[in-house]
Structure 1
Amino acid sequence: MQWLIGWWRTVHLGALLVVLALTPSSYGAHNRREMARHIALGTGPALLGFTVLTTLISLVVIRIVLVTALSYGLSQYALEMVVRVLVLELIPLAAALFAALRCTIPNAAEIAALRARDGWDAWSPQGLQRLRSEVLPRMAASVFCALLMAAVSCVVTLVVAYLLVYGFTSAGFGAYTHTVGRVFSPAVALIFGLKIVFFGLTVALMPIASALDAAPRRLGRASAELQGLVRMFLVILLIEAASLVGNYY
């Protein structure tokens, strides 16, 4: 029962934050400045490092796949496999986890420190105002960080794959776009977009909602932050499993 109540409170707080994010009154002048500041601080330093890291890993993985496929006479399938494995599956998952570690978890720690210092309750009228002024900008920054890192890294990986396969020439652009278009069918593109969005919402909402949850846990040994991370990883796993089912079954 305590486990179910914890999940319900986390989902409830997450839904409340989503409603606040969709409310026009939440975007006053002060909130817009705070949101822009948190987006710049959370996304700027992480974007460059993650892009460089994924580019280096993509270079190694693509090269290994190309050489292996050529040795077995399956070079015509190498590019499609690279796009499916890296762009569809690995990079969105890595971007979500990196955004959680770099942006969301520090934001959740800041929110927990603010609550401990000021003593406000997320369920009170004062807490609702603090959700709008303190929590919503940090949540928006976490979502933006996850989405932007996934989008930029996927584009960079597609460019790197083209250069490794065809080199610095436009001769293979038609065949390359045909292969990528065959992978990104309308159904796969829809699932891919929804997966990135749900990944961003999950890594942004779950740790922050757990930090806001003030329910007593006398019977549990794990802290609220640790339980929030466990729930986040579980939801990410479910989203990834659902996307695999949708893409390949």
Structure 2
Amino acid sequence: MIVKASTSNPLFRMSRSAQRWLVGSWRTLLFGVMMLSLMFSPASYRREHRRAVAYQIVLGTNANLIWFTVLSALISLILIRIVVVTAVSYGLSRYALEMVVRVLVLELIPLTAALFIALRRTLPDGVELAEMRARGDLHAMRAQGLDPLRLEFFPRAAAGIFSVLMLAALSCILTLILAYLSIYGFNHWALPGYTRIVGQIFNPAVTMIFVLKTVFFSLAVSLIPIASALYSTQGVPLHSRSKAANELAAMVRLFAVLLLIEIASLMGNYY
């Protein structure tokens, strides 16, 4: 009776939830350190491991590059048009380009690329690895003398990081080109002024924050779902946790971290 009363206490449940959150965050951090150490280890790029890494990178990038580029171009054109028309109607046409670059390139595109790769690639990879772990496939690989971290976890993490960086870089360049064509048309006379305005926006501080934000987005998107697959189901019966529950738990952690990174970047850029 005492045990039941204590477990039903709201303060007890909150403390247990906070404890699980701290333990999960610590395990994710340790997993990230392991993946980064493998990334800089020459042994991770031997012939037997290099093929798995290259396969995951090509699979993760090639399957999403065209779709994300097309969607990013369409959304960018719509938003550029809205911003330009609104700025002209209020007599602020000279600020239209700066608004487009700050809203699209600095803020929306890196976040959109991270969410796109998370939904299309890393969250399903996390669920797949959790199922492999539940079936005992990872234990069977260890029994055969193989390292699951190098053959299964690290290639997927590296592919997620590379995909986010590639999609964000390509979409930012495409958006800058579309912004110039939408505002100035197919003319070269405005190119010096355009590059000067973009260069003023991307000063050293803003550029550093933009690069760090994109890198942290890629790390969060790649490491959190895969770390959840490795640690979250330990000690939990297989029938008590479904595929949707695994994916939802990793998604909540991931969105919370992305929100914190975005808030930190906004504070760095505008405060």
- The bucket for the TM-score relative to the shorter chain is over 0.9
Aligned to 1:78: 96
Q: Does 1:237 align with 2:259?
A: yes
Aligned to 1:248: 270
Aligned to 1:16: 34
Aligned to 2:193: 175
Aligned to 2:235: 216
Matches within 5 A, 1:103-182: 103-120=121-138, 129-182=147-200
Alpha-carbon distance between aligned partners in 2 of 1:117 and 1:234, rounded to the nearest angstrom: 30
Question: Structure 1 192/138 Cα, relative in aligned 2: closer, same or farther at 3 Å?
Answer: same
Alpha-carbon distance between aligned partners in 2 of 1:145 and 1:163, rounded to the nearest angstrom: 27
Aligned to 1:64: 82
Q: Does 1:93 align with 2:111?
A: yes
Question: Structure 1 188/65 Cα, relative in aligned 2: closer, same or farther at 3 Å?
Answer: same
Q: Does 1:225 align with 2:247?
A: yes
Offset of residue 11 of structure 1: 1.9
Offset of residue 227 of structure 1: 2.0
Decide which moves more: 29-38 or 187-196: 29-38
Offset of residue 64 of structure 1: 1.1
State whether residues 127 and 246 of structure 2, in contact with CA within 8 Å, keep that contact through their aligned partners in structure 1. Answer: no
Structure 1 gaps of 5+ residues are: none
State whether residues 111 and 208 of structure 1, in contact with CA within 8 Å, keep that contact through their aligned partners in structure 2. Answer: yes
State whether residues 120 and 126 of structure 1, in contact with CA within 8 Å, keep that contact through their aligned partners in structure 2. Answer: no
Offset of residue 217 of structure 1: 5.5
Offset of residue 94 of structure 1: 0.3
Structure 2 gaps of 5+ residues are: 1-18
Alpha-carbon distance between aligned partners in 2 of 1:125 and 1:75, rounded to the nearest angstrom: 66
Aligned to 2:16: none
State whether residues 129 and 226 of structure 2, in contact with CA within 8 Å, keep that contact through their aligned partners in structure 1. Answer: yes
Residues 205-233 of structure 1: CA deviation (Å, up to 9, x unaligned): 00000011143369x98944322211111
State whether residues 165 and 218 of structure 2, in contact with CA within 8 Å, keep that contact through their aligned partners in structure 1. Answer: yes
Alpha-carbon distance between aligned partners in 2 of 1:117 and 1:216, rounded to the nearest angstrom: 14
3-state SS, counterpart of residue 14 of structure 1 = helix
Alpha-carbon distance between aligned partners in 1 of 2:63 and 2:249, rounded to the nearest angstrom: 27
Alpha-carbon distance between aligned partners in 2 of 1:24 and 1:179, rounded to the nearest angstrom: 42
3-state SS, counterpart of residue 44 of structure 1 = helix
State whether residues 69 and 78 of structure 1, in contact with CA within 8 Å, keep that contact through their aligned partners in structure 2. Answer: yes
| RMSD of aligned alpha carbons | 2.1
State whether residues 57 and 159 of structure 2, in contact with CA within 8 Å, keep that contact through their aligned partners in structure 1. Answer: yes
- 1:241 maps to a residue whose letter is I
- 2:263 maps to a residue whose letter is A
